[in-house]
Structure 1
Amino acid sequence: MAVSGRARALYQRIADKLRVQITEGTLRPGDRLPTEAEIAAEWETTRSTAVQGLKVLVNEGLIISDRPRGYFVRSRRPMVYRPQGEFRKRPLSPEMDLFLTQMSEEGREASQRIEIKVESPSQQVRERLQLQEGELVVVRRRVRSVDGVPYNTNDSHFPLALVQGSEIMNPDDIARGANVVLAELGYEQVRALDEIQVRMPTPDEADRLQLGPGTPVAVHLCTGFTKAGRPVRTVVNVLPGDRHVITYERLRPRVEEALAIRQAKVDDLHTVVDLWGHAASWLQERGIDQWQYPPREDRIAANIAAGECWIVEADGAPVATITVDEHADLDFWSSSEAADSALYVHRMVVRRDVAGMSIGSALLDWAGEEALRQGKDLLRLDAWRTNGALQQYYRDHGFAHVRTVEVADRHSGALFQRPATYRRGIGPELKTSPPALEGK
């Protein structure tokens, strides 16, 4: 037998009904709500109970009290706030910054008040600017208003030692932007870290922004870094929840433009194994029995230790792997062939979600370049005997079929080779990353 929930108090049910009317549009922004006396009469209760229900909606930020006129649905015309606009080009007009320009474009009247202070930073600013105890900051404090209403605060903090004597110290708008001034001082920002926290405002924030009860704020901390990784600016933006919509626009980078190849490290063993397993599952789904056994982790680990295993990454995420070594498998290649100047390809795997980008073709070209770098004349591999599609793939990529060897308990044996100088020239460029430091 189900246990019913605890009955809601009458003042909560009053709030529930009015909330539905607001959210469904029966009561629209600016509309006057029934009076306390009218609500009390409707619900056959006391006026104090009606007031309790109205206070719930005040605290939720849905209505405002404007005595003696009554209670009204809060009007909301949110500003679209775009953190990614930090590095957007500045407008040419010296009277207008990005905020003023945006509001002007939307047909709204905007203004701002700027003050400059030299002070000891808060702990969160000190940590983000990596300042020592006792170091001071210059703060450019702004209250930005739209249509006569304070909309947000924008407080930019700079290490005093970096900006002393510059325009940043003046309580005026900087037409070309503080970022440009920092660049002129030798501290160009090339990277920004954004942090967003949602909470209730502090008393100081509520006072600066003239916030009523029940209005949460989003706090956007943006720290700018130079190419050398030095933090030079931390901005604290306080955005009332009833006045802003935070909008991020992201572009997915083209995978082929973000590829790099690097030597695998000891802790990459599981990455290579996972790529192998991913490929084996895909083959099994298509009825191909290739690689339907656990990967030989000891061999992979040995290749990694010898610097023969490589990983391709797209924006830091592994998407492919290849192993190249100079050791001929004597089950397949003859002793005289093993004496040839050749580099051998093993375990070339490309993740299926990046298939169609010719990464495999690029990997084979890269392997040919590696063969030349090691002074080899040939690039060789052995393919699964029963995988005709894979054998055709290698033919299409300039490999000649040498012969097919059948060895007991071995499924591979279709032998291919091509000159190390051969380039198909199709697929993305693979940039070789420098070896990572040990332990990194």
Structure 2
Amino acid sequence: MAVSGRARALYQRIADKIRVDITEGTLGSGARLPTEAEIAAEWKTTRSTAVQGLKVLVNEGLIISDRPRGYFVRSRRPMVYRPQGEFRKRPLSPEMDTFLTQMAEEGREASQHIEVNVIVPSRDVRERLNLTDGELVAVRRRVRFVDGVPYNTNDSHFPLAAVQDSEILSPDDIARGANVVMAELGFEQVRALDEIQVRMPTPDEADRLQLGPGTPVAVHICTGYTADGKPVRVVVNVLPGDRHVITYERSKPQFGTAPTIRAAAEDDFRIVVDLWDHAASWLRDRGIDQWQYPPREERIKQNIASGECWIVEDDGVPVATITIDDRADADFWTPEEAAEPALYVHRMAVRRDVGGKELGSAMLDWASKQATEQGKRWLRLDAWKDNDGLHGYYSERGFTHIRTVEAEGRRSGVLFQRAADHVRGIGPELVVKQGDSH
């Protein structure tokens, strides 16, 4: 049911107009706004209504009040904050710590104030460090300044029992980093859990960071763990929203672990069909008519039952399939060729989200090894006649084009073979998964 909107109050429309001027750049960073009297005259209203509109923008953090000078657009020159830099290696004796170096490179003046205390931890810190009631922590409380403005706080908490009598308890900067000191103490951190919350600041946070009204903060909590899963450090970073851009760099891993290959089981039938359909759809989107027909389900079921159909998994997720057998297709291979010991590749399909990682090369190498183990001389396949890109793919992987066969009712027929002992060695090594996980 539609709900009729009410006309916005005049003070809200005043705020709306100034907000647009700020966001569109008509009023730039640090610009002085018209006075309360000037705004009241422009809108033919009272000064108190103008003040009410300006307070909306103050509370939103867009402008600041600097009496008696007036109202100004809040200056924003955000610092780029990169949580993923936690474990990057640093020189053992850098001239400046990472924060100071970053700011110097940007042409900004940076400084920091550090104090160290031994305290009873908050419940959140105690739970993250798995401490018992009564255990104390050493906390290194740091306020970082940029161009004279407190930009963020960084409070690192350590179990007191782990850092007693170490540099952690000194209120000086640790040039090589607290993580290195922890490693030297036998608590090397190899994993971190990052949590990010966005909220309004507490009174203590607003005081330490000199925050005006309407400024939210992002709170980044990082818990560091040793190889045996012991939490040894909790860092609480408080980042004012008007002073930071949080930047994460992510890269897609090659594979979660070494991909595995296993014989398809009866209940894998739908997985094989889905992989085939996925590949057919990808080909269709590129104007290639290969496999543009329903999958031959009975043949797939027969291949599975005969142990000829295989599935490749990445972290347990099926990402590719290949079928191999020793039966020469009479439409393509001569009786003399069929008499030669060979293994034949069929229905090789790879999910496109793992494309470009040479998984197809890895499956062909695996098939070559299977052929060698079975005493075969050749690894062979027939390719779709109209897929020139696929022909080049096989040629680049050591296959020789034997000939192209025109068989009635068959769209395939470009014949390739390579020596069974030819292994290209490019792509991931497939680990054979023994047994049936189903």
C-alpha contact (below 8 Å) 1:400/1:418 kept by paired residues: no
TM-score (norm 2): 0.78
Q: Tell me the percent identity.
A: 65
Partner of 2:203: 203
Partner of 1:87: 87
Q: Alpha-carbon deviation of 1:212?
A: 0.8
AA matched with 1:377: K
**2:429 aligned to 426, 431, 436, which one?**
431
AA matched with 2:259: I
- Aligned partners of 1:112 and 1:131: how far apart in 2? 29
Q: Which moved more, 1:32-41 or 1:72-81?
A: 32-41
Aligned residues: 431
Q: 1:239 and 1:388, CA in 2 relative to 1: closer, same or farther beyond 3 A?
A: closer
Q: 1:432 and 1:161, CA in 2 relative to 1: closer, same or farther beyond 3 A?
A: farther
Q: 1:11 and 1:252, CA in 2 relative to 1: closer, same or farther beyond 3 A?
A: same
- Aligned partners of 2:124 and 2:307: how far apart in 1? 46
C-alpha contact (below 8 Å) 1:128/1:223 kept by paired residues: yes
Q: Alpha-carbon deviation of 1:159?
A: 3.4
C-alpha contact (below 8 Å) 1:225/1:232 kept by paired residues: yes
Q: Alpha-carbon deviation of 1:59?
A: 0.3
Tell me whether 1:310 sits opposite 2:339 in the alignment: no
Tell me whether 1:243 sits opposite 2:246 in the alignment: no
AA matched with 2:427: E
SS of residue matched to 1:276: helix
Residue correspondence of structure 1 range 5-404 to structure 2 within 5 A = 5-90=5-90, 96-126=96-126, 128-130=128-130, 136-251=136-251, 260-264=258-262, 271-284=271-284, 286=287, 288=289, 290=291, 292-294=293-295, 296=297, 299=300, 303=304, 309-311=310-312, 313=314, 319-324=319-324, 345-351=345-351, 359-372=359-372, 374-378=373-377, 380=379, 383=382, 397-398=398-399
TM-score (norm 1): 0.77
Alpha-carbon deviations, 1:323-342, whole Å to 9, x = none? 44x675899999x9999976
RMSD: 4.5
Alpha-carbon deviations, 1:100-142, whole Å to 9, x = none? 2222233333222222334454454455445566654432221
SS of residue matched to 2:234: strand
SS of residue matched to 1:151: strand
Alpha-carbon deviations, 1:48-67, whole Å to 9, x = none? 21221111010011111223
- Aligned partners of 1:9 and 1:15: how far apart in 2? 10
Q: Alpha-carbon deviation of 1:93?
A: 5.9
Q: 1:394 and 1:30, CA in 2 relative to 1: closer, same or farther beyond 3 A?
A: closer
C-alpha contact (below 8 Å) 2:159/2:232 kept by paired residues: yes
SS of residue matched to 2:190: strand
Q: Alpha-carbon deviation of 1:403?
A: 12
AA matched with 1:66: D
Alpha-carbon deviations, 1:300-358, whole Å to 9, x = none? 69849969623164x9876533244x675899999x99999765544311345766765
C-alpha contact (below 8 Å) 1:402/1:417 kept by paired residues: no
C-alpha contact (below 8 Å) 2:151/2:243 kept by paired residues: yes
